[in-house]
Structure 1
Amino acid sequence: MQRRAQRDDQADQRAERTKRRNRVLVCAAAVPAMLIAAGCSSDSGSSDDAKKAPESASSASASPSPTVQAAAYSELPEPCGVLSKKTLGELVPKGSKSGKEGNSDDVSMRGSCSWDSLDNNGVDGSQFRWLNVSMLRFESDVTRGEGDKLAQEYFAKQVKDVQATEGAKGTKTESVSGTGDQATAVRYDLKKKEGTFKQQTIVARVENVVVTLDYNGAGLAGDKTPDADDLMKAAKKAAEEAVAAVTKANGESGSAATPDASKSPSKSATSSKSPSKES
């Protein structure tokens, strides 16, 4: 009986050792599995990051730099030389040589010239004429847009400003063909103490340049008021000539200018007007 009990005890001890050994083996097997899982997880993250980095770099390098089409015209003609002697003799007969160039800090961007004429007939009165041509060129700008588009915007604004002239009476507007890419004529009367002035303004655009021609006339000291139709006919002829001078200064089809983002179009060039034109 004693031996049997001993054998039973030994069997129980062997069984207990077997259980402990099996638990150790199970735990040992679990450790590599955890390491493998951790290793797979780490590799997966590194792979995703590696994929994302080239994609981000590719997206950044694929983004194009902002560009804008170069303006067609890069030069302006000499302001007081845009009209021929013959034309000046017709519009300002007594002042064709009295051209006064307006101030400009950049003659390639803006310029103007004015002429005045007083045909004094003594006690029979006098005929007064005043003429002004101003030019404004727009550069292409990456922040503001193409030069011709900027010129179109300014052209529209200039026409509206002329139509809204303070004190203007009987304002009439008409389109003008054959003068640049677009042109509009505005006429009106201005009554002043010296007499009634007949004002004719032609606003024209050719490519990225806007030309504004002002022409007015009055009969002073009792002389008859000039005919507005005659003045308008002369103004249209002069505007067409001024636009042609701009095109000629840039060659037959204009010379391309290099876009410069540092340059921005300035406000319209202005010159001092004859006192008789001011209200």
Structure 2
Amino acid sequence: MHRSAPRLTRILACAAVPVMLVVAGCSSDSGSDGAPEASASPSPAAKKSPSVAPAKFTQLPDPCSVLAQKTIEDLVPGAKSKGGTAGKSSDAASRGSCSWNGLDDNGVKGSQYRWLDVSLLRYDSDSSLGVSGEQRAQQSYAKEVDKAKATEGAKSVKTSAAPGIGSEATTVNYTLNKTDEDFVYATVVARTANGVVTLTYNGTGYAGAKNPSSADLTEAALKAAKEAVASVESVNK
């Protein structure tokens, strides 16, 4: 059976072009116009929010109650207010602070000034960002340590790990000249789950009294920080 000339010419032309062009441009004898059939594209799956662990702690204690009265008496003799002075907070469940200060006047032996501050932070999990409360607290913990190390005017800055306090803790020691006196500082930053506690303790001697030693201040600050962390953990049980 002989093929018609036009049909034979068409077959030869299609055989001479690359295979991919044949598929797109050469039709069969069925009478198709060569246009590719439209295929339905699968619709993209709906994006789901990342799953994150819920925050362990849902509240914070009253910052002025995280330390026992005996602790305040030992660390801040002659405290102006044993109940402490609370810092302002627009969200007491997420942040708060309290401070104490006092001058222990020893007459001709001079005076000892002490200042103590406790700051509490709590972080919720954020499913929209896929970040847990604990991860956010870890980031905050690192920032608080860096902030203490970068205190303006601080001299002889030293940092050391503080094991046994919460999930992780760091002590930052330095001296700072204020009102023509050298103040000795010990700051302890601790994280427990999704909570961060920063405790700063400093002091100086007036009227010829010797300055407190960094070792003594640090020992007292570590004990107080451990007590504050325990208060955060206890209120969430």
Deviation at 1:65, TM superposition (A): 3.5
**Matching residue within 141, 146, 156 for 2:132:** 146
Paired residue for 1:177? 163
Paired residue for 2:57? 73
Paired residue for 1:226? 212
Paired residue for 1:265? none
Paired residue for 1:112? 97
Please give the secondary structure, in 1, of the residue aligned with 2:67: coil
Residue type matched to 1:70 in 2? P
Q: Deviations over 1:80-139 (max 9, x none)?
A: 000011111111122161400000000000000000111112343211000000011111
Larger Rg: 1
**Matching residue within 143, 158, 171 for 2:144:** 158
Moved over 4 A (4+): none
Q: For 1:166 and 1:65, how far apart are their aligned partners in 2?
A: 41
Q: For 1:118 and 1:64, how far apart are their aligned partners in 2?
A: 58
TM-score by length of 1: 0.68
Of Structure 1 and Structure 2, the greater strand share is in 2
Q: Deviations over 1:216-245 (max 9, x none)?
A: 011012111112211110000000000011
Residue type matched to 2:117 in 1? N
Q: For 1:78 and 1:193, how far apart are their aligned partners in 2?
A: 32
Q: Is the 8 A contact 1:127 1:218 kept in 2?
A: yes
Q: Deviations over 1:147-171 (max 9, x none)?
A: 1111111111111121121221211
**Matching residue within 185, 204, 207 for 1:199:** 185
Paired residue for 1:126? 111
Q: Is the 8 A contact 2:51 2:130 kept in 1?
A: no
Paired residue for 2:15? none
Q: Is the 8 A contact 2:123 2:194 kept in 1?
A: yes
* Structure 1 residue runs without a partner (length 5+): 1-35, 252-279
Q: 1:98 to 1:246 in 2, by over 3 A?
A: closer
1:247 and 2:230 are equivalent in the alignment: no
Please give the secondary structure, in 2, of the residue aligned with 1:154: helix
Q: For 1:123 and 1:144, how far apart are their aligned partners in 2?
A: 61
